[in-house]
Amino acid sequence: MNRLQDKIAIVTGAGRVGNIGVAICDAYLREGAKAVVGTDLRTDEAAQIISEIEAKHGEGRFRLLAHDTTKEEDWRKVIDTTISEFGGIDILVNNAGISVHGGVESTPLHEMSKVMAVNHDALFLGMKLCIPALSESAHRFPGGGSIINTLSMASYMPSANNLSYQVSKAAGRMLTLCAAVELGPKRIRVNSVHPGLTVTPLLREAFQEYADQGLWESYEAAEDAVAAMGPLGIKSYPEDTAHAFVYLASDESRFVTGASLYHDGGIGQRF
Ligand SMILES: NC(=O)c1ccc[n+]([C@@H]2O[C@H](COP(=O)([O-])OP(=O)(O)OC[C@H]3O[C@@H](n4cnc5c(N)ncnc54)[C@H](O)[C@@H]3O)[C@@H](O)[C@H]2O)c1
């Protein structure tokens, strides 16, 4: 409790019930954050998310804003709203992401560009525009400002059928490392979390596609098969993954920057 006491966070990709972004918002509020501003392109599930979060944490500390992370003007609105309503930004979680199947032959250029825009360019934009506010955080907290980019095992594992996703997440890793080196003197830490198999709507959709192609009999069978490949042999749920984001946002990690936290059940060590 209270590991994020009085901190103010922006978390992208928090507009879908049961996803990692919502779990991060929930965990940050549980740990005493002063305010959490969740954002997402989609707004159709906003009412349910807001009411579930307010039922747990009360009113006034959570906002859910419409935001296309690939658009600079949307970022400016989110940042201005966060600062004017709550007084600053201490934590930026670049978590929104998309996944499109296909390899070099089958992926059209426009799809490659779209995945790069959401999974890579938007992280760059968010980091860039939040620097002035995040650099003020060191005046309030020993851990200073914290940027956490949600990447993936895809950052370090090639795939024949997921080219745009793997490339965008690998590029996100180098983006994180370069920013960590550059922004350290401003007392902004930049780290990444690499989830493995995490049971969310995105994963279910991806695995349903495999099931539809006849590769597995159902998405549950696909989940079980992939989980069994890891040394631990278990799946992660968004609430598990959110713990990694709490640590990197908290002052407990004040000496940690440029770290890649693999939250993957060890499956990456198999490849
Ligand atoms: N679930 C997994 O197994 C898994 C594994 C590795 C990495 N990840 C990563 O974790 C992150 C969260 O994934 P999730 O499983 O919760 O998926 P999800 O689809 O539930 O969440 C991603 C959210 O990002 C939003 N989004 C997409 N494009 C956007 C844009 N341009 N602007 C704003 N929001 C946008 C979507 O609307 C969605 O709500 C993603 O970056 C994903 O790549 C997930």
DSSP string, 196-253: -SB-SHHHHHHHHHHHHTTSSSSHHHHHHHHHHHSSS---B-HHHHHHHHHHHHSGGG
Handedness of CA 238, 81, 113, 205 (dihedral sign): positive
Spatial neighbors of 97 by CB under 8 A, at least 6 apart, are 13, 118, 119, 150, 152, 169, 202
Residues 132-155 have pLDDT tens digits of 999 999 999 999 999 999 999 999
Average pLDDT value for residue range 183-206? 94
- Delimit the CATH 3.40.50.720 region(s) of the chain: 8-196+236-262
211 vs 129, higher pLDDT: 129
Residues 160-183 have pLDDT tens digits of 999 999 999 999 999 999 999 999
- Ligand 1: which of 12, 20, 113 to mutate, judged by most atoms within 8 Å of the beta carbon? 20
What is the CATH superfamily name and number for domain 8-196+236-262?
NAD(P)-binding Rossmann-like Domain (3.40.50.720)
Q: How far is the CA of 141 from the centre of ligand 1 (A)?
A: 29
- Ligand 1: which of 202, 203, 205, 234 to mutate, judged by most atoms within 8 Å of the beta carbon? 202
Q: Specify the pLDDT at position 269.
A: 83
Known catalytic membership, residue 219 = no
Catalytic residue among 28, 156, 165, 247: 165
Ligand 1 pocket at CB < 6 A: 12-13, 15-16, 19-21, 40-42, 67-70, 95-98, 118, 150, 152, 195, 197-198, 200-203
Band of the pLDDT at 213, cuts 50, 70, 90? confident
Q: Specify the pLDDT at position 202.
A: 85
Residues 38-70 have pLDDT tens digits of 999 999 999 999 999 999 999 999 999 999 999
Q: Specify the pLDDT at position 206.
A: 83
Band of the pLDDT at 205, cuts 50, 70, 90? confident
Residues 82-127 have pLDDT tens digits of 999 999 999 999 999 999 989 999 999 999 999 999 999 999 999 9
Residues 226-269 have pLDDT tens digits of 899 999 999 999 999 999 999 999 999 999 999 999 999 998 88
| Nearest C-alpha neighbor of 149 from the set 185, 125, 184 | 125
pLDDT at residue 271 tops 80: no
Q: Give me the chain's average pLDDT, please.
A: 96
Average pLDDT value for residue range 220-224? 91
**C-alpha to C-alpha distance for 199 and 237, rounded to whole angstroms:** 5
Neighbours of 146 (CB within 10 A): 29
Q: Specify the pLDDT at position 17.
A: 97
